[in-house]
Structure 1
Amino acid sequence: MTTTTPYQTAAPVRTLSVTSFVIGLSSIVFGWTLVAPVAGLVLGILALKREPLGRTFAIWGIVLNAVMLAGAAIGIAFAVVGLGVGLMALPFAWL
Structure 2
Amino acid sequence: MTSTDTQSPSSPNAFPHTAAPVAPAADRTLSVTSFVLGLASIVFGWTFVAPIAGLVIGIIALRREPLGKTFAVWGIVLNALMLFGVLLGLVLALAGIGLGLTFLPFAFL
- Shorter-chain TM band: 0.7 to 0.9
Task: Provide the TM-score with structure 1 as the length reference.
Answer: 0.75
The separation in 2 between residues aligned to 1:64 and 1:36, in whole angstroms, is: 11
Please list every run of 5 or more consecutive structure 2 residues that lacks an aligned counterpart in the other structure. Answer: 1-21, 101-109
Q: Deviation at 1:24?
A: 0.2
Q: Deviations over 1:13-64 (max 9, x none)?
A: 1000000000000001000110000000000000000000000000000000
- Find out whether 1:80 has 2:64 as its counterpart: no
Uncovered stretches (5+) of structure 1, i.e. residues with no partner: 1-8, 87-95
Distance 2:87 2:35 in 1: 20
- TM-score, normalised via structure 2 length: 0.65
- C-alpha distance in 1, partners of 2:96/2:23? 55
Distance in 1 (CA, whole Å) between partners of 2:39 and 2:86 is 15
| Structure with more relative contact order (C-alpha pairs < 8 Å, separation 6 or more) | 1
Give aligned-pair identity as a percent.
68
Aligned residue number for residue 14 of structure 2: none
Rounded Cα–Cα distance in structure 1 between residues aligned with 2:56 and 2:38:
11
* 2:38 is equivalent to residue 28 of structure 1: no
How many correspondences in the alignment? 76
Moved more, 63-72 or 74-83: 74-83
Query: Quick one: which amino acid aligns to residue 11 of structure 1?
Result: P
Whether 1:46 aligns to 2:56 is no
CA distance in 1, matches of 2:71, 2:63: 13
C-alpha separation in 1, matches of 2:24 and 2:50: 27
Poorly superposed stretches of 4+, deviation over 2 Å: none
- The structure that is helix-richer by fraction is 1
